[in-house]
Structure 1
Amino acid sequence: MAIINVIDDKEEIVMDYAFEDEKRTKIIYANASDIVQYKGVRCYCKNPYCEARMFIYNPEHPSSAFFKASGKPSHNGSCGSIYNHFDNTEYDANLFNFPDVLIDLEKEPIKKKTCISGRTGSGEETFGKKGLKTIKEIYKMATNTPPNDEYNGIKIKDILADVRSYSEYEDGIMGYHLVECNFFRYENNEKAIIMNFPFLPNNRYYLRLVFENEELFRKERSRIYDTGHKGLIVISGLWQQIDEEYEKSTIKAECKIKSEKQIAIIK
């Protein structure tokens, strides 16, 4: 279980996994039974562009062990946030249907009847567990899991496009994905918002969010603009690859925004 320590009223990033080597070829899980052997050993951040020195804390108790940066340099880019914590005991992975869950985010919310029995529509007993449904829930799981690991049979890198999986998306993004990015600028005439991908300072190209109506555009433009250029934002939708020169760089993918549920501001 990942933990968020609070020091001087500031959240301190801790992680459930790190890497043994600088090239990030060997993953080390904080809850591994032999994690104590890494006590005092410098490890590497999950962000391939970050040089933070990661160390294991509380390795004598693997169930509550975690990685944390120590000394300098500090973290660089989207290495983590409070939303990295994911308690998988609250969720049933078998109820995660991808990409259906992202398609549902494009729809307007509907009122649902309360399920008193604790059973799914198929009659399957859930025992209090639920399936991942919102962007933030899926993002918690995906950022807390290595890109090549799977969740209900789907690789994390096929669910979330971020700095860790950039090599898979360097030519653009195609299909349903969550995408971790941050604000660059908005285009009023086009009802569009341009985003950096990956998250600054590691961005390589731009993404374009195209809004279906003026009201939704103005509402989300205000929310996104207020994050500045450092706010961590996750977008859900059906992405199309494009190749368009823009501001000395390139827009390589765009997504239609039909609902406010497709946008989550993480920090």
Structure 2
Amino acid sequence: MTMTDTDQPPAFELREVSKRFSTKKGQLPVVRSVEMHARRGEFISIIGPSGCGKSTLFKMIAGLEQPSDGEIRVDGHLATGHTEEFAYMPQKDLLFPWRTILDNTTMGLEVQGMSRSAARAKARPLFETFGIAGFEDSYPWQLSGGMRQRAALLRTVVQDRPVLLLDEPFGALDSLTRVEMQEWLTEVWEQFRWTVVLITHDIREAVFLSDRVYVLTARPAGVREVHEIDLERPRDLGVVTDARFAQFEASLLEALREESRVSHAQDDVAP
């Protein structure tokens, strides 16, 4: 008997993950009992009001922060506090100005112990797919913002980690470039089918890219709602005119506005 997708453990899973910080006034809860998952090859997004604890949650997923409670699993195996299962792409591209684009994309592999020549041989074939072929020997200052982000994503995915973490990767781009990058990302995701966890403030981006969107509450962050985005794939920008796309967008916006009001109320009563 062969296992079906539903029999397989999630590629990525949070189980009752919480985080508290010690302060002079006692324990400050920042994340509370978060549960979420992604099956292999799924794209999920996390949205929430400003200051709710998204960054802390993402740091725990990436293994950069230890949860106070709960656990993180990858392919059914305990991964709490681990970094090796996750490839992390921050908002800023963080390309080194003194290294060529090719040598920037090999940084993660070299840190893992791969020789520079082997790392180059692994990264170079991806330049065509990522739309930056011909710029291998260029330097970051010679590329546009969108091309720099493509290089940063290539540097992330070439590490072949089970889960790809994207932290607002297009937030610093202008609106047109951002839309173009979103469409490009969904195209390459269709080709490679990475398991992706995205944090974003952009509701339309979350709907367009995702199979599932998790809405977090005001601090301490918990899961308020989970929306299954069952729009057909592959997707292009034409999907934003679909009535169901608009319904998803409106529902997520309303949930986010309500949690934002809660967050503002908390700020008003804070000492």
TM-score of the aligned structures, taking structure 1 as reference length:
0.25
Instruction: Say which structure is richer in strand.
Output: 1
Instruction: Say which structure is richer in helix.
Output: 2
